[in-house]
Amino acid sequence: MTIKRAQFAVSSPSWRKCPDDGRPEYAFIGRSNVGKSSLINMLTGVKGLAKTSGRPGKTQLINHFLIASEMERANHREMNEWYLVDLPGYGYARTSKSTRAGFSQLIREYFLHREALANTYVLIDSRIPPQRIDLEFINFLGQNGVPLTIVFTKTDKEKQREVMGNVKLMKEELGKLWEELPPMLLTSSLTGYGRDALLDQIDQINEELKIKN
């Protein structure tokens, strides 16, 4: 997949205010400071598209970016338009309790009611063992039938032995409740590692949605 255009579309305070034009959307979410903005910028190839910040918890709205992508198929090129959705991070302790509660409700309602959602990318910091809040959120999605892919970030920041050790721990923890584990991808915003695999997955889902419709 080649990204031909990526631009900010709209920020929404609730799922009801999100775009309603039939385009599929792919949500990106994770603990604050997991590297979400950097990953989005790397995927789209647009520096600064998603605002990075040294202050965790900055994203407080549902941010939609309109993406136009191109894929070559059997002697022709095919264009797709879809939304990349940047969601508020979860689990940042320094945010006030009332604000954290609001984020929680915003996030829960988005995933429980958003019909346009095609897949969710849950970002996990590959440098550290599985965190309880990540496991709880992944299980919440699974229990509610929300499709998801686990994306390990910052794989260039640690030795591969440690990275793969943390991936193994994640599989073991999820295996206690999941009969079939969700897909998992490894990425690095610095090197671009994992970009093609993630975009190809989105392209595949887009094609499956076309067949269904």
Cβ proximity of 26 and 202 under 8 Å? yes
Confidence at residue 103, expressed as pLDDT on a 0 to 100 scale = 47
Q: pLDDT tens digit string along 159-194?
A: 889 999 999 999 999 999 999 999 999 999 999 999
| DSSP state for residue 182 in the 8-state scheme | P
Helix (H/G/I), strand (E/B), else coil: 37: helix
Q: pLDDT tens digit string along 40-93?
A: 999 999 988 987 544 444 457 899 999 999 988 777 888 899 999 999 888 654
Query: For the chain, which domains are there?
Result: 2-206 (3.40.50.300)
C-alpha closest to that of 26 among 116, 107, 150? 116
